[in-house]
Amino acid sequence: MATRGGIGEFSGEAADWESYIERLENYFVAHEITDAANLVVPQKPNEVEYAALVKRINEHFVPKSSVIVQRFKFNTCVRQVGESVLTFVAHLRALSEHCEFGDTLEDMLRDRLICGIADSRMQRAMLAEQKLKFARAFELTQTMESADRDTRKLQSNTSVHLLTDKSTTTKPCYCCGERHHPSSCRFVDAICHACKKTGHISKVCRSKRKTTAAGGNTTKTGGTKSNTSTSVSQSSKSSTQSEPKAALTLTATPEDVYTMFSIHGPGHAPFYVTLAVDGHEL
């Protein structure tokens, strides 16, 4: 009988025996092979049976493991960061193969899913369910996982949209000074503390800026140093003197000249003070 394809020989380093024997059995079914005695060549067909051969190879390559150890692996399995709920459940089912749970398999999968999901929101949602079954727990966690994924996508798209709007806005908002459209500003109904008008805050108040600019042009007096130099010229006191006296020039620096305070009030006559420098009246 003609056959198609082949299985090849088994290699313990390239594949595991269970997968190989499963492929081999499917190959026999596909090609309607019922007599596998030719696999034991050069031995005679009546010396070895296929079932016995498979059993001996299974005992050699796949020794029976301890149920306690397998259950320990199952009960300590925790969902890893970035691992989907579907992948985690598939891993649990693979671990439960040699645990011999029997009829309690669904309950054990449910309990391990709750304890090992590593997500407090999902755990609270499952524990809130009355008479929770594994199928319901699996469905609930998948739904929440999908909702979280969709929410992150929406938030990401919103952030990109806001960033684009902010980058394209060149003029600052007249309500607060930030770069966005005034219609979306949260201070559009605010009352300014400077001018008491509605629609902006004091930081960008135009009336406040005008008042400040006007006050800055006023000359302040009283206790401040003068920024101008003072020149005092002294000529001869009397023309009748035989020799005219040389002109006396005094130059004062800004550090030496101070502005006097002035007192204004009704009923006070002005005070006059004559200063003398080196015997010469100024």
At 4, give phi and psi (nearest 5°): -120, 140
SS (H, E, C) 23-50: HHHHHHHHCCCCCCHHHHCCCCCCCCCH
Q: Which residues contact 5 (CB under 8 A, 6 or more apart)?
A: 27
Distance from C-alpha of 228 to C-alpha of 217, rounded to nearest angstrom? 17
Of all residues in the chain, what percent are helix, strand and coil, respectively (each to 5)? 45, 5, 50
Q: Which of 26, 12, 107 is nearest to 61 (CA)?
A: 12
Tell me the three state secondary structure of residue 75.
Answer: helix
CA 8 to chain centre: 53
> CB–CB of 110/132 below 8 Å?
yes
Eight-state DSSP code of residue 2: -
Tens-level pLDDT at each residue, the chain (282 residues):
455 667 777 776 667 777 887 887 787 777 665 555 555 556 655 566 767 777 766 665 666 778 999 999 999 999 999 999 999 999 999 999 989 999 999 999 999 999 999 999 999 999 999 999 999 999 999 999 999 999 888 887 765 555 555 555 567 888 888 888 787 888 888 888 888 888 888 888 888 776 666 655 544 444 444 444 444 344 444 444 444 444 444 544 444 444 455 555 565 666 677 777 877 777
pTM, entire model: 0.42
Q: How far apart are CA 16 and CA 57, in angstroms?
A: 12
Res 147: pLDDT: 93
Q: What is the pLDDT of residue 161?
A: 58
Q: What is the pLDDT of residue 30?
A: 76
Contact (CB, 8 A) for 111 and 74:
no
Supply 154's token pair. Answer: 């929406």
Which pLDDT score is estimated for 225?
43
Q: What is the pLDDT of residue 162?
A: 58
